[in-house]
């Protein structure tokens, strides 16, 4: 019986590499008299990670429920490995598709190892017991998700993030070609969220196919091969992250204004939401290098401020972000030191600005630039000098707009945000 079950899994992936591993056609779902999904179509290639993104209530979880056949659509069909799910038994579906739920509530006093072992159920006959092959699969899954250390602990004793990893281990132990992840990073801090998506990426690189509902657009853009953007139960856009995450599509789906740039160090879009308030009409000069300085530039431009940068090495993340957003940047060749002309120009910009923002690695060469500023806003972090003065405010990247909102002596300048947005539309 065990051999027959294992062979059925192997034969279930009989479609060719050229065929999609997963196909969704004309999916429509109505629940309680309310239309949840309407005509949803998309396909997922073998060995790819596709992200479902969209606002709350867009239908992401409902799509995942139909993909694992726990919800029967009113119209449309789902094919996995060339097989229609509505023609398969629950056991056969479980040999094709494994999933992790959005919630991690588990009330029974199972140990972690027992919970992961449940993933082997689809491969057991009615009277079969767990054998050495199953135990090896369970151990490998626990080690892969870094929960082997909790093997003998009750799952109810774990934190929400630890439980999330146990549920992922259970899905891996199920050994299916398709993995469905419903908000896999929702209860995790940023470090564990990145580790989870790194793990998903490595599994995909080894041949598994994954679909994940992800609320963080920037993490989805970084790790997913393609995105499906849902809103009001319909697909608004599908394709690469760069194709899907645009100001226009995000405005349509989320009814929100966004600034879309590029993530430093990654070929992926960076989505910065714009606050629903009047643009801040002021000039801020950013001093610093690296990703934190780049993030400060994007956040300030998104708030409608005129931004300049420098002195920074050419090719630095802050210099690239400044160029992308049409901000003046005083740059010098990498490792060349700061020449007098560049120092004077950056000092002049800092003196004319309403404030200088210190972010990332400021460096000793920029001390005269810092000294010229009338007011300083320092982003807390490594590399930013501690300057205790009445003219200094310490804040975070997210709090930058609020920190400069009450700047005195604002000049009458056209908000740079509108200029950048118009240029993006003209391209």
One domain for residues 289 and 238? no
Residues 22-47 have a mean pLDDT of: 93
Site of tokens 């975070």: 396
Query: Has residue 157 got a pLDDT over 60?
Result: yes
One domain for residues 228 and 102? yes
Residue 22 lies in a domain: yes
One domain for residues 92 and 228? yes
Strand ordering across the sheet containing 83-84:
34-45, 20-31, 75-80, 83-84
CA-wise closest residue to 210 among 219, 201, 222, 221? 201
One domain for residues 92 and 194? yes
Question: pLDDT (tens digit, 9 = 90+) per residue, 256-281?
Answer: 888 888 887 788 998 888 765 555 67
Give the number of other Cβ atoms within 10 Å of residue 202's Cβ: 11
Query: Has residue 67 got a pLDDT over 70?
Result: yes
pLDDT value at position 361? 87
CATH code of the domain containing 316:
3.40.50
Residues 277-286 have a mean pLDDT of: 76
Query: Has residue 179 got a pLDDT over 90?
Result: yes
One domain for residues 322 and 400? yes
Residue 267 lies in a domain: no
One domain for residues 355 and 407? yes
Write out the residue range of the structural domain in which residue 357 sits. 283-426
Answer whether 419's CB lies under 8 Å from 326's CB.
yes
One domain for residues 217 and 295? no
| Reported confidence tier of residue 384, pLDDT bands at 50, 70, 90 | low
CA-wise closest residue to 357 among 323, 317, 404, 312? 404
Query: Has residue 2 got a pLDDT over 60?
Result: no
One domain for residues 324 and 242? no
| Reported confidence tier of residue 7, pLDDT bands at 50, 70, 90 | very low
pLDDT value at position 412? 39
Share of the chain above pLDDT 70, in %: 85
pLDDT value at position 383? 52
Task: Examine the fold and report which residue of 219, 241, 256 is the final residue of a domain before the chain moves on.
Answer: 256
Residue 210 lies in a domain: yes
pLDDT value at position 8? 35
Residue 211 lies in a domain: yes
Question: How high is the mean pLDDT of the chain?
Answer: 84
Output 139 or 186, whichever has higher pLDDT.
139
pLDDT value at position 125? 76
pLDDT value at position 9? 37
Residue 265 lies in a domain: no
CATH code of the domain containing 84:
3.40.50.300
pLDDT value at position 407? 54
- Which of 131-145, 345-359, 409-423 is least confident? 409-423
pLDDT value at position 401? 78
Site of tokens 């995909």: 204
pLDDT value at position 324? 81
One domain for residues 245 and 288? no
One domain for residues 214 and 294? no
Number of compact structural domains in the chain: 2
Output 100 or 423, whichever has higher pLDDT.
100
Query: Has residue 11 got a pLDDT over 50?
Result: no
Most confident of 3-7, 309-313, 402-406: 309-313
pLDDT value at position 104? 62
Query: Has residue 95 got a pLDDT over 70?
Result: yes
Question: pLDDT (tens digit, 9 = 90+) per residue, 303-353?
Answer: 778 899 989 999 898 888 888 888 899 999 988 888 899 999 999 999 999
Query: Has residue 54 got a pLDDT over 80?
Result: yes
Residue 277 lies in a domain: no
Kindly report the three-state secondary structure assignment for every residue of 381-427: CCCCCCCCCCCEEEECCCCHHHHCCCCCCCCCCCCHHHHHHHHHHHC
Residue 271 lies in a domain: no
Query: Has residue 393 got a pLDDT over 80?
Result: no
Would the pTM count as exceeding 0.85? no
| Reported confidence tier of residue 18, pLDDT bands at 50, 70, 90 | confident
| Reported confidence tier of residue 107, pLDDT bands at 50, 70, 90 | low
Output 274 or 151, whichever has higher pLDDT.
151
One domain for residues 89 and 190? yes
- Which of 277-291, 312-326, 374-388 is least confident? 374-388
One domain for residues 52 and 154? yes
Determine the Cα–Cα distance for residues 363 and 380; give it in Å rounded to an integer: 15
- Which of 105-109, 120-124, 238-242 is least confident? 105-109
Q: What are phi and psi of 185, to 5 degrees?
A: -110, 5
Residue 217 lies in a domain: yes
pLDDT value at position 413? 40
Strand ordering across the sheet containing 283-287:
328-332, 306-313, 283-287, 355-358, 376-379, 392-395
Query: Has residue 10 got a pLDDT over 80?
Result: no
């Amino acid at each position: 019986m065990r051999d027959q079950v294992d062979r059925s899994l192997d034969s279930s992936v009989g479609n060719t590499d050229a065929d999609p591993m997963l196909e969704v056609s004309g999916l429509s779902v109505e629940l309680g008299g309310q239309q949840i999904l309407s005509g949803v179509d998309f396909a997922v290639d073998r060995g790819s990670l596709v992200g479902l993104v969209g606002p709350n209530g867009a239908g992401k979880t409902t799509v995942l429920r139909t993909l694992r056949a726990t919800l029967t659509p009113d119209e449309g069909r789902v094919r996995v490995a060339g097989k229609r799910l509505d023609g398969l038994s629950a056991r056969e579906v479980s040999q094709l598709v494994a999933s992790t739920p959005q919630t991690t509530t588990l009330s029974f006093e199972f140990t972690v190892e027992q919970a992961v072992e449940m993933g082997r159920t689809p491969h057991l006959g009615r009277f079969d017991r767990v054998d050495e092959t199953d135990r090896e699969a369970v151990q490998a899954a626990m080690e892969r998700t870094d929960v082997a250390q909790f093997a003998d602990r009750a799952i109810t004793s774990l934190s929400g993030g630890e439980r999330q990893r146990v549920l992922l281990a259970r899905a891996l132990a199920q050994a299916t070609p398709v993995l469905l992840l419903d908000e896999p990073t929702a209860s995790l801090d940023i470090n564990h969220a990145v580790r989870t998506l790194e793990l998903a990426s490595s599994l995909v690189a080894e041949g598994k196919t994954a679909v994940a509902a992800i609320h963080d657009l920037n993490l989805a853009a970084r790790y997913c091969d393609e995105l499906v953007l849902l809103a009001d139960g319909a697909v608004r856009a599908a394709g690469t992250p760069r194709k899907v995450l645009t100001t226009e599509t995000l405005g349509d789906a989320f009814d929100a204004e966004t600034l879309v740039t590029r993530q430093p160090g990654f070929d992926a879009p960076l989505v910065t939401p714009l606050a629903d308030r009047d643009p801040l009409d002021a000039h801020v000069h950013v001093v610093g290098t690296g990703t934190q300085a780049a993030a400060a530039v994007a956040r300030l431009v998104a708030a409608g401020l005129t931004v300049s940068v420098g002195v920074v090495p050419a090719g630095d993340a802050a210099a690239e972000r400044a160029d992308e957003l049409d901000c003046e940047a005083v740059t010098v060749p990498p490792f060349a030191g700061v020449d007098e002309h560049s120092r004077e120009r950056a000092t002049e910009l800092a003196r004319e600005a309403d404030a200088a923002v210190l972010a990332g690695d400021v460096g000793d060469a920029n001390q005269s630039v810092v000294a010229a500023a009338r007011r300083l806003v320092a982003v807390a972090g490594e590399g930013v000098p501690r300057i205790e003065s009445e003219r200094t405010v310490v804040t975070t990247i997210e709090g930058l707009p609020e920190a400069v909102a009450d700047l005195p002596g604002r000049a009458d300048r056209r908000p740079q945000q509108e200029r950048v947005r118009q240029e993006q539309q003209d391209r």
